Amino acid sequence: EVQLVQSGAEVKKPGESLKISCKHSGYSFTSSWIGWVRQMPGKGLEWMGIIYLGDSDTRYSPSFQGQVTISADKSINTAFLQWSSLKASDTAMYYCARPRGGWPNYFDYWGQGTPVTVSS
């Protein structure tokens, strides 16, 4: 069974750094992509970027390029999303999700979400 399990809720202050994770199981990690999607409170879904787990080829939405870093560690079947300096506007729910087959594509499996709160 395919599962994407994300790290827990985070509460941070503006200017702090953060790295959240998404651990997969149930399918071949190295032959797949994992994407990240933001959902701000009460709002819609925004695609942030995606990483190919085989060679760490990474693509970013122009809206998020330079704002976040996506990475992966094959040895622990995990993808990461990180910020070097958080802002209050980064407060949101963050989902990892697997696109079916190649890229670009729709997402057939989703993590449970990691809520991030940035407040002074």
Partner 1 sequence: DIQMTQSPSSLSASVGDRVTITCRASQGISNSLAWYQQKPGKAPKLLLFAASRLESGVPSRFSGGGSGTDYTLTISSLQPEDFATYFCQQYYSTPLSFGGGTKVEIK
Q: Which residues bind partner 1 (CB under 8 A)?
A: 35, 44-47, 59, 61-63, 95, 97, 99-100, 104-108, 110-113
- The residue (of 45 and 88) whose beta carbon lies closer to partner 1 is 45
Residue type, 109: Y
Distance of closest approach, residue 70 Cβ to partner 1, in angstroms: 14
Helix (H, G, I), strand (E, B) or coil at 5: strand
Residue 1 Cβ, how far from partner 1 at the closest point, in Å?
Answer: 13
Q: Which two tokens stand for residue 30?
A: 């190295």
- The secondary structure element, H or E, covering residue 107 is strand 107-110
We find the least distance from the C-beta atom of residue 69 to partner 1, in angstroms, to be 17
Q: Distances in Å between the alpha carbon of 2 and those of 41, 54, 86?
A: 27, 18, 31
CB-nearer residue toward partner 1: 83 or 95: 95
